[in-house]
Amino acid sequence: MDVDVADGEDDVDSTPSAHHKIPTEADFLLAYSASPGYFSWRNNVDGSWFVQALVRVFREYHDQLDLMGMLTIVNQHVAYDFQSCTDAEFTNDMKQMPCIVSTLTKLLKFK
């Protein structure tokens, strides 16, 4: 899959320059399936809620949205479309909220 960085469409300067110095922590993205301290749920047949939503959103929006936009929709799907169904009362009807941590300095789009 080719990756394309937005080239100034949204007032983002993507022209490399010798005089620009960025922090070493720049341009990292971490996408957690659940917020820290919480369970990440999965279906025994279909797999984890997060990966199900990630695949669905990437298939549908890869040519329309940048990475952060797609991950926001993944968060929405996991938060609204999934709910646990177990025999134990304390784990039944549970929800999950993914967590995105980003230090990206440019929009990231897939071709």
Domains of the chain: 40-105 (3.30.70.1470)
Do the Cβ atoms of 61 and 70 come closer than 8 Å?
yes
Q: Lowest-pLDDT range, 10-19, 34-43, 56-65?
A: 10-19
Taking the CB of residue 33, how many other CB atoms lie within 10 A of it? 21
Tokens encoding 64: 């329309």
At 8 the pLDDT is: 46
pTM across the whole model: 0.79
Task: Report, as an integer, the average pLDDT of 103-107.
Answer: 96
- Of 4, 98, 16, the C-alpha closest to 51 is 98
pLDDT of 68 over the 70 cut: yes
The model's pLDDT over 1-27, given as tens digits with 9 standing for 90+, comes to 445 555 445 455 556 556 789 999 999
Helix (H) or strand (E) segment spanning residue 97: none
The model's pLDDT over 69-100, given as tens digits with 9 standing for 90+, comes to 999 999 999 999 999 999 999 999 999 999 99
